[in-house]
Amino acid sequence: MNGVKIEFDAQELGEILGIPTTGFDIYVWEDKFVLDKARLVELAQTLSQRSGLKYPVAVKKGNMLPLHQLLFWFVIKNVIPRRQGRNQADAMDQCFVDLMDRGEPIYLPAIMIRHI
């Protein structure tokens, strides 16, 4: 018996499930190449408050401003929870913290579709 592989893009899957996909392309998933290197360096500089970075780096929670620490804590506990205890923001976390700091809406249905 042969199966048929079916593929959907985010927009089609969102329509089928009746879930909004607004903002789907904003989020950084496990693929760190979604954003260019310059943007990743900019995010790391913003969160760490360190100038002169030339390469994207994970940022330790203790090196963040109190507001960024709070947003990071919210992200790792509620938006993209992971099982291990972490005190560093990787590229995915930095993107979410930056979106929240700028007041951008985060569409959880779009994130869930991305993970499907």
Asked, for residue 58, whether it belongs to a domain, the answer is yes
Q: What is the mean pLDDT of residues 14-21?
A: 72
**Tens digits of residue pLDDT in 57-102:** 889 988 888 888 988 888 888 777 666 677 888 877 888 788 788 8
Domain count, the chain: 1
Asked, for residue 76, whether it belongs to a domain, the answer is yes
Q: What's the pLDDT at 32?
A: 57
Q: What's the pLDDT at 49?
A: 79
Predicted structure pTM score: 0.63
**DSSP secondary-structure letter at 47?**
H
Could you count the other beta carbons within 10 Å of the beta carbon of residue 41?
16
**What percent of the chain stands above pLDDT 70?**
71
d(CA 57, CA 94): 10
**DSSP secondary-structure letter at 104?**
-
**Tens digits of residue pLDDT in 18-53:** 766 666 666 655 455 567 788 888 888 888 877 788
Asked, for residue 7, whether it belongs to a domain, the answer is no
Asked, for residue 14, whether it belongs to a domain, the answer is no
Asked, for residue 13, whether it belongs to a domain, the answer is no
The closest alpha carbon to 46, from 109, 96, 81, 111, belongs to: 96
Asked, for residue 74, whether it belongs to a domain, the answer is yes
Q: Residue 48: which domain range? A: 28-104
Q: What is the mean pLDDT of residues 4-18?
A: 73
Asked, for residue 85, whether it belongs to a domain, the answer is yes
Task: Quote the strand ranges of the chain, DSSP E.
Answer: 59-60, 88-89
